[in-house]
Structure 1
Amino acid sequence: MLNISKNSVSEYVDLTKFKSCQEIFHKEYHKRFKSFLMVFTVIMIMILFLPWTQNITSSGNVTTLKPNQRPQTIQSQIPGRIEQWFVQEGDFVTAGDTILRISEVKSEYFDAQLAERTNVQLNAKSSSVDAYKNKINALNNQISALQRERTLKLEQAQNKLKQAYLKVKTDSIDLEALKIKAAIANTQFERTSSLQTEGLKAVKDVEDARNKLQEASAKLVSAENKFLVAKNEVINSQLDISTLQATYADKISKAQSDLYATQSSAYDTEVQVSKLETDLANYTKRNSLLYVTAPQDGYINKAIKSGIGETFKEGEQLVSIMPSNYELAVEMYVRPIDLPLIHVGEDVRVQFDGWPAIVFSGWPNVSYGTYGAKIIAIENFISNNGMYRVLLAPNKEDVEWPKDIRVGSGARTIALLDNVPIWFEIWRQINSFPPNFYQPEQATTK
């Protein structure tokens, strides 16, 4: 019955006699609905007062805690040409294992015996240094000998000069004595001549006096000559001393000049030896660089340069390697507006790609498939994507992270902030307010 007509059926038929009508008309459905609404309203009000953990969600990647544990590339310090590969992608290598062998591409290093030839040159130059040192010792000995000889010669010449001075003094005394004798002889001759004139002395006496006077005069002349010879010997002795000093000064100066020239040559040779030693060390080290080795234990990820005969420059990437021993971490990026809300040491929940999870962001305790982490570092400078990088480490007090996680896989992070009622969080979300700013109770140590 559609009850379209204005005529009511109940005026003609008693519907209460029918069983179906008795089941329908005598039940009060509105009372149950009201009860349902009351219970639902009470439950919703109670839910609004439940605690809700404010959070900042972000996406990130799995990385390593230490820089030396992250994937790296191996470069060659010298340019070269690939000659032989010793590994393939996926191989495990230990530190020091040879990965590939290269050859030189610069013409100045083509000589295979370059280090040996440089060593021969080094030995020859070292012998030259020893020869120069021996020559320096010989010149020092020669200078010492000349100095000793000069000292002895000067002592000898000074002794001779003293003897000449003494001889001059002796001759001068003899000369004075002979002068006195000559004067006496002259006086006696004149007196004898006067007496002979007066007849008191014989002619023979005069002749004897004249003879004595002549002898005294001759001795006086001889003494004067001898005195002059002695003075000449003094002058000669002084000249000999000056000559000795000049001669030995010249000899010693020449020996010292040879010594300084030899020392200069020795220093130059030592410089050449030092340069050859440096070259030899460089050549030896360069020979060792012809074999590219693994810097640490790890797995060969990818051969960036491949084939045989391919050339490359110094510093070019050759092989990518992943260290085998590492500590996992997660890097997430937060907006600049959320940066003041996070602090070092706060708890973060992490969901890894490929690991099933049921996440209630506001109720971390009931979430399933998330793992605990703590903030250990916050970047002080903005990244290229316009956000700040935050590094997370596993929370040792929580469930251990899965061992099969690989570096580079994706992760979703939930940074846990302050606890507020649900009604407050709904009101904040409706008004687009930021989460509550607060400081942790315990300040972290820098």
Structure 2
Amino acid sequence: MPFAEHPLAESNPLTGRFRSFARVQTPTTGRTLARWAAALGLLALAAGFLPWTQNIRSTGTLTTLRPQDRPQTVPSTIAGRIDRWRVREGQHVRRGDTLVDLVEVKEKYFDPQLVQRTREQLEAKIASLSENKAKNAALTDQQVALRAGLQVSLSKARNYVEQSRLKVNSDEADLVAVRNDYTIAQRQQQRQEELYKQGLKSLTELEQRRLKFQEATAKLQSAENKLEASRQALRNAQLELASLSAEYQDKLAKSESDRRSVTTYQFDTEGQIAKMRNELANLSIRSGYYQITAPQDGYVVRALKEGLGEIVKEGEPIVTVMPDAPALAAELYVQPMDIPLLSVGRKVRLQFDGWPALVFSGWPGTSFGTFGGVVAVIDNIDSQGQYRVLVTPDPDQEPWPKPLRVGSGVYGWALLDDVPIWYELWRQVNGFPPDFVGAPAGKDGKEGKAGKKEKKAEASAEEEAK
């Protein structure tokens, strides 16, 4: 095209002077891009003022809120050998159903009639104790009889001593009379001797007087001997009285020793009976452990021992049982800096493994495939640098899926305050923690009016107290 005919030649006066201006063209693509960039910038700026729900994100697994709802291993209470399996893996069992049959492996329990024989030994020991008590009663009666006999014998011995004393007194009186007769006979003899010498008495009369004197002498000697014998009898009676108490005390001491020996044996027998009763009770209880039963309703998850004839130790786990219909809870782990922002009752959104979900953490209302939860438990101690939080289903939200299983993965985020998007971006860039909200969040994640009213009431009460 000739330069004079170019459209710019008329609009620009320089085109007439410079031919290069006629060859330069302004592209329209740059202007379009600039317009789009400006529009997007304005849109991003406007979006920065949209509300964004702050949240605390964490991961974890599904567990149960109640310890009895968690998978448990069923151990063997006693050592034994597996004789028979009553269940298979995946089978549903009721509480008390037999899982495994065991047989004894300890030789002291091999006897199948061990409980009956132990009971017979116990009955024999009880009969022995009964006879021992009868012997103890007989020894007690014997002691009573010995004490009564001692009193009677003492009375008899005292009477004999008194009788001997009276005999001595009587013999002493007789001796005095005999001595008087002896003295009179002696004097008469002397007078007869003098009269015979004077010739006044005959020899016959003298001999008669001498005979009477001899008789008086013999009577005197007899009386003295009799008195001495009575005194000796009195001494013997006194000695008998003194030895009688010692003799009966010896018998009583021997009887008391026998009675105490019987009492000792009785106490020892009672201790053996108590021990045998304990052993019998243990044997009876042990016989109930030959069948391992299900502790509660549930499913047999895994057999930890295989085959038949395998030996198990005391307390060794045999099978794992998962209770049916457990109260599920999400076990989440939260960083320590986020724990002050959580409280029991805080709303949480959860995403479970295996359930497709479209998640917008800042816009929980637009998320799809998530489920509601409520913080139920916050641990007071950390676990490897994080704190455990248990989340239960929110009764005001849709129920959790029924096919959920304990141990599956879960992703959750606790809903906090609503802030602009630009503020959230600024906070994330600077690494600041989310804003603290004192009261538990409501359905929309904001602090409810009731929480604000409670705060005002608490503040006014504090001011009045001051």
* C-alpha spacing 1:161/1:91, structure 2 compared with 1 (3 Å): same
User: 2:22 corresponds to which residue?
Assistant: none
User: 1:27 corresponds to which residue?
Assistant: none
CA RMSD of aligned residues (A): 4.0
CA contact (8 A) 2:3 2:9 kept: no
SS in 2 for 1:274: helix
* C-alpha spacing 1:188/1:355, structure 2 compared with 1 (3 Å): same
User: How does 1:10-409 map onto structure 2 within 5 Å?
Assistant: 10=7, 41=42, 47-172=47-172, 181=180, 185=184, 222-384=222-384, 386-409=385-408
Question: Greater CA deviation, 346-355 or 90-99?
Answer: 346-355
Per-residue deviation at 1:80? Answer: 1.9
**1:131 partner amino acid:** E
Question: Greater CA deviation, 111-120 or 213-222?
Answer: 213-222
**2:390 partner amino acid:** L
**2:411 partner amino acid:** R
CA contact (8 A) 1:189 1:206 kept: no
CA contact (8 A) 2:100 2:293 kept: yes
Per-residue deviation at 1:88? Answer: 1.4
Mark the runs of 5 or more structure 1 residues left unpaired by the alignment.
Answer: 15-29
SS in 1 for 2:381: coil
Per-residue deviation at 1:101? Answer: 0.8
Per-residue deviation at 1:185? Answer: 4.1
Matches of 1:168 and 1:360, distance apart in 2: 135
CA contact (8 A) 1:192 1:209 kept: no
Once the two structures are superposed, what CA deviation does each residue of 1:257-314 show, in whole Å capped at 9, x if it has no partner? Answer: 2223333333333333333333332332222211111111111112221222222222
CA contact (8 A) 1:98 1:291 kept: yes
Matches of 1:89 and 1:304, distance apart in 2: 10
User: 2:427 corresponds to which residue?
Assistant: 428
User: 2:27 corresponds to which residue?
Assistant: none
Question: Greater CA deviation, 151-160 or 95-104?
Answer: 151-160
* C-alpha spacing 1:6/1:383, structure 2 compared with 1 (3 Å): farther
* C-alpha spacing 1:372/1:11, structure 2 compared with 1 (3 Å): closer
Q: Percent identity?
A: 43
Per-residue deviation at 1:62? Answer: 1.4
CA contact (8 A) 2:192 2:201 kept: no
**1:410 partner amino acid:** G
CA contact (8 A) 2:357 2:369 kept: yes
Instruction: Please point out which of 6, 9, 12 is paired with 2:6.
Output: 9
* C-alpha spacing 1:186/1:339, structure 2 compared with 1 (3 Å): farther
Matches of 2:285 and 2:8, distance apart in 1: 117
**TM-score under structure 1 normalisation?**
0.79
Question: Greater CA deviation, 206-215 or 343-352?
Answer: 206-215
Per-residue deviation at 1:99? Answer: 1.0
Per-residue deviation at 1:429? Answer: 0.3
* C-alpha spacing 1:196/1:369, structure 2 compared with 1 (3 Å): farther
CA contact (8 A) 1:52 1:421 kept: yes
Matches of 1:223 and 1:396, distance apart in 2: 129
**TM-score under structure 2 normalisation?**
0.76
Once the two structures are superposed, what CA deviation does each residue of 1:147-187 show, in whole Å capped at 9, x if it has no partner? Answer: 222222122212222333344445445556666x4698489
**1:401 partner amino acid:** W
SS in 2 for 1:379: strand
Mark the runs of 5 or more structure 2 residues left unpaired by the alignment.
Answer: 12-30, 440-450, 456-466
* C-alpha spacing 1:187/1:417, structure 2 compared with 1 (3 Å): farther
Per-residue deviation at 1:190? Answer: 10
Per-residue deviation at 1:256? Answer: 2.4
